[in-house]
A and B are shown apart, each in its own frame.
Chain A
Amino acid sequence: MLFVNTLIALLLLAGCLFLVGGAVGILRMPDFYTRLHAASLLDTTALICLLGAAILYVLTQHPDLNGVITSLKIILIAVFVFITSPTATHAIVDAGMRAGGKPWTRKNEEKQI
């Protein structure tokens, strides 16, 4: 029991750290594409950790059919986020490319959008 609780706490902590990292990435990265990269990747990772903690918590608190059904619903949330989040990032990057934004490199550092 203690082991599972520690695991849940660690997962929650990791999720929060990833979210903070994503926020710092959005603020500090040099251009549009790298900011988007930080936001999308770290948010998805944080979501895995947080939902994993939620599933573990539900299964330990309610080790019966209701708990299993609830954790299946949480897994469904994760599946939908896995489909939609990369697509949204892809669409935003696509719009950025169409608008003519050049990716940041050390050479064209002055010409960033």
Chain B
Amino acid sequence: MKKLALILCLFAGGLLLVNAHHLPMWGDPASPASLHVSPFYIENAYEHTQAPNMVAVVLADYRSYDTMFEAAVVLTAGLACFFLLRTKGRKQIGPQYYRHIPTGVTLRIEEGGKLPPEDSKVFRPIDTLWTPFDPIIRTTCRCLIPFLQIYSLYVLAHGHYSPGGGFQAGVVLGATIILLAISRNLKTAIHRMNERVTALFSIIGVAIFAGTGTLCLLLGMDFLNYDILAPFLLSDTVMARSHSILIVEIGVTMAVMAVMVWIYYNLSSAGQQDEGL
């Protein structure tokens, strides 16, 4: 069986290699991809939008339907994770039992009683062997998270000029929250950004994108044709496109960030959202 797999691998790889020289050269002006659509974008992108980064223009202006539904797909992934995993938080009457992960001790909490913070000094007498969470990891994350968040905002705001844009900024921003949850615990992250906020942000993000398009439609233009928004953005039609790309990218960033955090919350705690990793 292994030999068969090896032969199949070699055969498939050889087939690809044999056919590789039929592909057009990289950057060949006569290749089919460079004949029809690309020259139009390359020649007109800057005049239409005043944005030097052509990729951002294609993504958020020429092909914004595509991008809008990509954001919607991201939102759908978050919703699917939520509906599949989230267990219903039932209100318990009477004493509750809570397992404190660092010490492995199960605590009985009377009704109405409050749980002390995860790493407070209350737990220290329980387990003399327990060392508190690592200060090295915490300090590193504490130093890195603000820089990462500022960098993600830079990626978002600078998307017109250099590689970057909504999706990348959202991923970096969401990763900072997940980093917080990893370096502390899930409770701290949820305390900073709770589940309702993640759900709202992901929906608002898609709504900003779709709402911009609908606004154009209501004003009498095509869906997502930003020209008509010029009076609202206090600019001419060309700069209106440029500004609208930024608005749309902000929506994408919010959606991606919130959905990432939301999926992490549900996956890491198996839908319980109480203890987590």
Contact = CB atoms under 8 A, between A and B. Distances in A.
Contacts of B140: 83-84, 87
B143 A83 contact: yes
Interface residues of B, number: 6
Nearest to A80: B144
Interface in A60-113: 80, 83-84, 87, 90-91, 94
State the main secondary structure of chain A at its contact with B: helix
B206 to A, nearest CB: 32
B136 interface: yes
B65 to A, nearest CB: 35
State the main secondary structure of chain B at its contact with A: helix
Contacts of B136: 87, 90
Contacts of A90: 134, 136-137
A90 B137 CA distance: 8
Contacts of B134: 90-91, 94
Nearest to A91: B137
A90 B183 CA distance: 12
A87 B140 CA distance: 7
Interface in B125-166: 134, 136-137, 140, 143-144
B5 to A, nearest CB: 21
A91 B137 CA distance: 7
A91 B135 CA distance: 11
A84 B144 CA distance: 9
A45 B255 CA distance: 38
Nearest to B148: A80
Interface of A: 80, 83-84, 87, 90-91, 94
Closest 3 CB pairs of A and B: A87-B140, A91-B137, A90-B136
Given A87-B137, A91-B134, 9 more contacts: A80-B144, A83-B140, A83-B144, A84-B140, A87-B136, A87-B140, A90-B137, A91-B137, A94-B137
